[in-house]
Amino acid sequence: MASFYTGNTGKSTGAHLDFRIYDVEKGGYVDPTSFTNIMSVGGESLTGQFGVTSGYGMRDHPTDGGQKMHHGIDYGTPDGTKVDID
C-alpha cells in the first residue's frame, strides 16, 4: 500500500485530487476510471466520500480556456487529504 496527500499546485482552480494513469507501454495517459476503486480515505472508498469535479475527456479548460483533453479525474478533496492506494 502507498499513501499520498492532496494539495494545490497554485495553477489549478483550488484544492482537489487529479487522478491520472500513465501507461508506459502505450506512451500516454489512459482513462483512469477503472482504477478509482483502489483509492481510500480513512479506510473508506474515496469515490464514496468525494464527488467528481471534472471527469476524463474533453472539457472547457478552467484556467487556460478553450477545449482541452483532461487526462485525469478530479475529486473535490481538501488540501492535505491523505489518500491510500490499496
pTM of the model: 0.85
Mean pLDDT per 10-residue segment, the chain (86 residues): 79 81 96 94 95 93 88 92 92
Q: In what order do the strands lie in the sheet with 82-85?
A: 2-5, 82-85, 39-41, 44-45
Alpha-carbon dihedral sign for residues 64, 65, 68, 74: positive
Query: Across the strands, what pairs with 42?
Result: none
- Using CA atoms, how far residue 73 sits from 19, 49, 59, in Å, is 5, 15, 12
Q: Report the pLDDT value the prediction gives residue 4, as an integer from 0 to 100.
A: 82
Q: Report the pLDDT value the prediction gives residue 52, as an integer from 0 to 100.
A: 94
